[in-house]
Amino acid sequence: MNLLEKLNLLAEKIDVEVKTLKTLEAVEAFKIKVLGRNGALTDLMKELRNVPKEEKPALGKRANEIRQAINEALDGLTKEIEAEVLQKKMEQETIDVTLPGQPVTQGHPHIIEQVMQQIEDLFLSMGYEIVEGTEIVSDVMNFERVNVPKDHPARDMQDSFYIDDHHLLRTQTSAVQPLVLEQHDFTKGPLKVISPGKVYRRDNDDATHSHQFHQIEGMVVAEGITMGDLLGTLELMSKEIFGENREVRFRPSYFPFTEPSVEVDVSCFKCGGKGCNVCKQSGWIEILGAGMIHPNVLKMSGIDSNKYTGFAFGTGPDRMAMLKYGVNDIRQFYLNDERFLNQFIGGTK
Ligand code: PHE
Ligand 1 neighbour 291 (Cβ under 6 A)? yes
Using pLDDT thresholds of 50, 70 and 90, give the confidence band for residue 107: confident
DSSP class of 122: H
pTM of the model: 0.70
Mean pLDDT of the region 278-294: 93
Residue 299 C-alpha from the chain's centroid: 45
Handedness of CA 177, 180, 314, 168 (dihedral sign): negative
Q: Say if residue 74's pLDDT is above 70.
A: yes
Ligand 1 neighbour 174 (Cβ under 6 A)? yes
Q: How far apart are CA 105 and CA 342, in angstroms?
A: 12
Strand partners, 264: 250, 288
Residue nearest to atom 10 of ligand 1 (CA): 290
222: helix, coil or strand? Answer: strand
Q: How far apart are CA 157 and CA 171, in angstroms?
A: 10
37: helix, coil or strand? Answer: coil
Q: Which residue has the higher pLDDT, 138 or 47?
A: 138
Side by side, the strands of the sheet bearing 167-169 are 136-138, 167-169, 162-164
Q: How far is the CA of 111 from the centre of ligand 1 (A)?
A: 23
The whole-number pLDDT of residue 203 equals: 75
Q: How much of the chain, in percent, has pLDDT values that exceed 90?
A: 67
Ligand 1 neighbour 218 (Cβ under 6 A)? no
The whole-number pLDDT of residue 254 equals: 95
Residue nearest to atom 5 of ligand 1 (CA): 314
Asked if residues 255 and 291 have their Cβ atoms less than 8 Å apart, the reply is yes
Q: How far is the CA of 268 from the centre of ligand 1 (A)?
A: 22
Asked if residues 215 and 197 have their Cβ atoms less than 8 Å apart, the reply is yes
Q: Say if residue 316's pLDDT is above 80.
A: yes
Dihedral class, residue 302 (left if φ above 0, else alpha if ψ from -120 to 50, else beta): left
Cα–Cα nearest to 328, from 318, 343, 338, 341: 318
Domains of the chain by start residue, with CATH: 3-92 (no CATH), 113-344 (3.30.930.10)
The whole-number pLDDT of residue 95 equals: 83
Q: How far is the CA of 255 from the centre of ligand 1 (A)?
A: 7
Q: Say if residue 349's pLDDT is above 80.
A: no
Q: How far apart are CA 281 and CA 275, in angstroms?
A: 4
The whole-number pLDDT of residue 205 equals: 74
256: helix, coil or strand? Answer: coil
The whole-number pLDDT of residue 157 equals: 74
Using pLDDT thresholds of 50, 70 and 90, give the confidence band for residue 278: confident
Ligand 1 neighbour 172 (Cβ under 6 A)? yes
Residue nearest to atom 7 of ligand 1 (CA): 314
Of 34-38, 154-158, 335-339, the poorest mean pLDDT is in 154-158
pLDDT, one tens digit per residue, over 221-247 is 999 999 999 999 999 999 998 888 888
Ligand 1 neighbour 290 (Cβ under 6 A)? yes
Ligand 1 neighbour 147 (Cβ under 6 A)? no
Q: How far is the CA of 189 from the centre of ligand 1 (A)?
A: 24
Ligand 1 neighbour 255 (Cβ under 6 A)? yes
Q: Say if residue 155's pLDDT is above 90.
A: no
Q: What is the mean pLDDT of the chain?
A: 92
Asked if residues 211 and 205 have their Cβ atoms less than 8 Å apart, the reply is yes
Mean pLDDT of the region 273-300: 93
The whole-number pLDDT of residue 139 equals: 93
Q: Say if residue 208's pLDDT is above 90.
A: no
Ligand 1, closest atom to CA 288?
5
Using pLDDT thresholds of 50, 70 and 90, give the confidence band for residue 348: low
Q: Say if residue 173's pLDDT is above 90.
A: yes
Q: Say if residue 113's pLDDT is above 60.
A: yes
Cα–Cα nearest to 241, from 110, 120, 107: 120
Q: Say if residue 347's pLDDT is above 80.
A: no
Ligand 1 neighbour 312 (Cβ under 6 A)? yes
Q: Are strands 191-200 and 129-130 parallel, antiparallel or unpaired?
A: parallel
148: helix, coil or strand? Answer: coil
Q: Say if residue 193's pLDDT is above 90.
A: yes
Ligand 1 neighbour 289 (Cβ under 6 A)? yes
Q: How far apart are CA 128 and CA 148, in angstroms?
A: 27
